[in-house]
Structure 1
Amino acid sequence: MKKFQLILIFGFIISLVTYGIYSRLSEEYDFFYEYDSRYQVYSVEDPPEKIYFAGEEMPLEDKVVAKKFENELQVQTFWNYSKISLIKRARHWLPQLEPILKQHGIPKDFKYLAVVESMLNNVESPKSAAGFWQIMASTGAEYGLEINEEVDERYHPIKATHVACQYFKDSYKKFGNWTSVAASYNIGMSGLSRALRNQNETSYYKLNLNSQTADYIFRIVAIKQLLEHPKEFGYNVPRYNPYAIPMKRIPVKESIPDLAVFAEEHGITLEILREHNAWLLKNSLTIKDPEKTYTLLVPRNPEMLVKKETKNASPQQAQTDSIKISVTDSTLSRR
C-alpha cells in the first residue's frame, strides 16, 4: 500500500514538473495555446477608476457609457485563436506606426484605430476602403497617395499612416479634442459636425449615432486594453513571431517589367515579394517620372524562406526539403 502511495506521489510530482517546463516553453515557442481562466472581468458594478483615450478620460461615471464600454470589452477580449494572431501582428506593426504618429504630434493611442479598422490586415472593404487605415481612393488621392493600375499606396502601411495623421490634424483643427477626431474618422468630419449641431451636444458620449460610430471609441479602448494587457485576459502569447522578418530596403529608380524576375534575382518568389509590398497591384512596376524612387522590401535572409532545389539531392533529401518549404510558406500566406 505504501509503495502504491509513493508511486502516486512521485507521479504527481513528475506531472507538476513537466507542466512547469511546458508552460515556460510555450511562451518561447509556437506550442498549443492554453486558455488561462484567470482573466480580468469588468462590470458596471466594479468599474476601473480611470480609462483614457489619447489622454482624455472616458466618463465612466455615466452608467450608459460604462455599460457600452463593458459590452465592447467583453466582445473584444473574448478568448479565441484569431486574437492570438492579432496580438502578434500588433507587436510587429504598432512599433512601426508609433514614431509616425509622434512625428505628426498625434497621440499614440491613435495606432489602435488601425487595429479596429482592419485588424492590421491589408484588406479592402465592401465600400472599397483599403489598407490598414481603410482609406477611400478619393481621400488617398486628396492627401497625396499614388493610386493607379500598378500601384495603390493605401496598402503601404507607412505611407498610409502619414495620410491618416494628416486627416487627424485637420480634424483636430475642427473639433479641438481627440475623442471627436477619432469618431470623425469613422463617420466623417461633416457627419460628426452635423450630429453635434443637430443634437445640440458638445461631447461624443452624449450623441445618438449609428451603431458603428456609437461603438467606435469603446471598441478602440477595448482593443487598447487587450493589446496592452493580454495576460490579464487569458492570452499567453509565444515570443516567436512569424511577422517579425528582418527586411532590407531596395531603392528602385527604373521600371521593372517583370517583378517575378526581380523577385528571383533576390532569392524569393513573387508571392513573397508582394506579401511584403502589398501596394504592388500588377506584376510590373513602371516609373514614368525620372525623379520618382520606390522602395521595395525584401527579406534580408531569403534562404530562410525559400529552399532552392539542388540537382544532386537524394529523393529522401528532396522530400525533406519539400516539407520545409511547405511549412515555411504556410506562415507567409496573404492576410
Structure 2
Amino acid sequence: MRTSRRPLAVTLGEPGGIGPDVILAAWSERIERALPPFYVIGDAPFLAARAARLGLDVPVVETDADKACELFPDSLPVVPLDLPPIADRPGIADPETAGHVIASIERAVADVTGGVADALVTSPINKKALYDAGFPHPGHTEFLGELAMRAGSRQSFPVMLLAGPDLLVVPVTVHIPLSRVPEALTSELVIDVARIVHKDMIERFRIANPRLALAGLNPHAGEDGALGKEDAAVIAPAVAALRAEGIDARGPLPADTMFHEEARATYDCALAMYHDQALIPAKTLAFHEAVNATLGLPFVRTSPDHGTALEIAGAGTARADSFSAAVRLAAVLADPGLIA
C-alpha cells in the first residue's frame, strides 16, 4: 500500500482496556499488516509500560505529529497531552483517566480538521467510566459530531457504517432499546441516512453509482401488513422518495434473505433498521476484520469494531486485526490516490 501524505491520528481510548494492547501489537506487525504511518495521542510512559507488560519490543517516542511519518518505521510516535501521567492498570476502567480519553479525542479531531493528520482512528472507550466522570454524550459518534460542529462544520450528521471484506452495512437507528425502534423510525430519518450513505459511497468509497438495499423492520418485511405496518408506511415511501432523487435504492426487503452471498452481490451497501439487524451479519461474516466507520462527518473516522474487553487487557491475547483494518481503511478513505 502506498502511504498517505500525512500520518493518521490514533486516540488512546480506555487505558484499562485492550486499545493500548492492539495499538502496540499492530505497530509490532506494521510491515506484515501493511500499515501506513500513525501516531498515538496520549501518555508515552504508560504505553511503554503496557508494552513491557505484554513483552513487546516497541520503542515508544514522545514527539510532535509532524515527525510521525519519519519516526514510524523504527518507533511508535506518541504526541503527549498536558495531563498527569496514567498508571498501567489493565482491566480497570477508572473515571480518573476520563480526562485523558476525552482530550485525546479532542486533539485528534483538531489535528485532522487542522490538516496535521489525514484521518482519525479511535480506540475503544468505556462509556460508564466516562459517564461517571460527567461525560454528557451518548457515545463516541455523537461526541465526534459535536467536535465537527465546533471545528466549523455547518452540518454534521454522523452515520455508523460497519465495513468488512464482504459487507458494508448501516444501522438506521443505533443505540436505543429495541422497543423504541418503531417510534424512532421515520421516513425522514431513513431518507436522511440513505442520502449520507449515498454521498459517502461516491466520495469516500469511490463507487460511482452505489446500490442501496434497505431491510424491512418486521419479519418478511411486514408481509403486506400482516406482520407490521411500518414497512409499508415508513420504509416503502422513503425508498420511493430516494428513487425519485435518482438514488438507486430498493426495499423494504426481508432481512433474513439479504445477507447471503448471492444477495450481497446485488448491492453495495445495506441499510438495516436497528442495531443488531446490522451488526449480527457484519460480525458473523468478519468478526475480527470488521471496521466501524463514521459517515457524514467532514473528516474520515474509523475504529476497530470491538469494545474495551477489560477482562483480557494486558494479557497479550487481544487480536489486532480489526484495529489494523481500521488503520488501513482510514488511509484509503482519506486519500483517493491510495491503492490497497
Which category of TM-score, normalised to the shorter sequence, fits these structures? Answer: under 0.3
Q: Which has the larger radius of gyration?
A: 1
When normalised by structure 2's length, the TM-score is 0.22
> Which protein, 1 or 2, shows the higher relative CO under an 8 Å CA cutoff with sep ≥ 6?
2
When normalised by structure 1's length, the TM-score is 0.23
Larger proportion of strand: 2
Larger proportion of helix: 1
